[in-house]
Amino acid sequence: MQAATSRPTFDVKPNQHPMPEAERAKAFESLGFGTLFSDHMAVIRWNVDKGWHSAEITARAPFQIDPASSVLHYAQEIFEGMKAYRTADGRAVLFRPEENARRFAASAERMAMPEIPEEIFLEAVERLVRIDSKWIPDGDGSLYLRPFMFASEVFLGVRPSRDYIFCVIASPVGPYFKGGAKAVSIWVSEHYSRAAPGGTGAAKCGGNYASSLVAQAEAAARGCDQVVFLDAAEHRWVEELGGMNVFFVMEDGSLVTPPLSGTILPGITRASLIALARDQGLTVHERPYSFEDWKADAQSGRLKEAFACGTAAVVAGIGAVKFTGGEFRIGGGETGPVTNKLREDLVSVQRGRSNDPHGWVKAIDGV
């Protein structure tokens, strides 16, 4: 399904009506997540005959798509989430962007979509950050980047589309959770599953999130910040949250996190924290952990801390867990010291405050 690909040349058309400086400064005073957008977007089109073509950086604007565009019917859509940070010494940097490019390619393969070559993906992201570099907040904020691709062929038959649009948009963001750095509360979804073996759990496709929303709404109705899913086959093993991976910190100082069995997203934050924990001398077990054990370990004190992690959420301590028929607390409901140290280690690398032994940070030239 892959047409021959030559690297398209970007046509750069700067926005003639960018947001005035004062308006942006005002908006930056109260940054939430994903509600404010930068002046530009990157767009590249793909067609079965032409491959990747018509690359441009242009003013952010609505797409005009036909009502029969196949994405609107069969949800052939994938996305990524990554951030650009402003370092204290004034650089604009990305964190492990090649990992997002690779995961995007893996998601594309699973969804029978064309793979965008890593260098084209990265060029689109870097060009957008360069032209919208004023949109990277200082301090604790960051510029959240959302590369995505959808099927745009006007066709109602059920087969892979022959046309796609790849796009990157950018959104200056503050904390993902309204409570900021406070520990979050979690609802355990024992009824709904997120992904089954052989399904799309390891791909970052919109459909996974669509099917998670009813469980997330259930969580919100119970006053919880996020939902955690159990495995689809036995409803027994902890998998991941609606938009984050999960870790447990045990009494002996070791960490446990569910393995990448194909039903959860291989988080880049997850992989980075495993490496940073091992750098600290901690033992990390990637192994199944049951909800029964979670409850029992929280009660007995064998479980000291739990946290969620992802690009948007960074690292968030889990203080309370609710489920049908009960609830329990972890670590007195506060974010624990192991979680805080891992968060600090990660954020220090991402923001260029500590040296970067793994070579994860990529500076964007000319910003």
> Min. distance of Cβ 361 from ligand PLP in angstroms?
16
Q: Which of ligand PLP, ligand COI, none sits in contact with 267, Cβ below 5 to 8 A by type?
A: ligand PLP
Q: Is 258 in the site for ligand PLP (CB under 6 A)?
A: no
Q: How many whole angstroms separate alpha carbon 285 and alpha carbon 280?
A: 15
Q: What is the DSSP track for 196-239?
A: -TTSSTTS-BHHHHHHHHHHHHHHHHTT-SEEEEEPTTTS-BEE
Binding string to ligand COI for residues 53 to 82, with x set by CB under 6 A, is what?
----------------------------x-
CB 249 within 8 A of CB 303: yes
**Other C-beta atoms within 10 Å of 234: how many?**
9
- Residue among 174 and 288 whose Cβ is closer to ligand COI: 174
Beta bridge partners of 52: 46
Task: Yes or no: say if 167 and 79 are a contact pair by the CB < 8 Å rule.
Answer: no
**Stretch of 124-132, 146-154, 239-247, 337-345 lying at the interface with ligand PLP (CB under 6 A):** 239-247
Instruction: Report if residue 270 touches ligand PLP, rule: CB under 6 A.
Output: yes
Site for ligand COI (CB under 6 A): which residue of 201, 243, 317, 319?
243
Q: Does 201 bind ligand COI (CB under 6 A)?
A: no
277 in contact with ligand PLP (CB under 6 A): no
- Residue 154 backbone phi and psi in degrees, to 5: -90, 95
Among positions 76, 171, 263, 311, the unique one binding ligand PLP when judged by CB under 6 A: 311
Interacting residue with ligand COI among 312, 315, 338, 367 (CB under 6 A) = 312
Short-list 73, 99, 75, CA closest to 208: 75
Residue of the chain from 8, 97, 258, 310 that contacts ligand PLP (CB under 6 A) = 310
Which residues, other chains included, contact 289 with Cβ-Cβ below 8 Å and sequence gap of 6+?
237, 238, 248, 256, 258
Please report where in the chains the tokens 């010291």 appear, as a residue. 337
Does residue number 245 form part of the binding site for ligand COI (CB under 6 A)? Answer: no
Q: Which residues bind ligand PLP (CB under 6 A)?
A: 81, 240, 243-245, 265, 267-270, 310-311
Q: Which residues bind ligand COI (CB under 6 A)?
A: 81, 243, 310-312
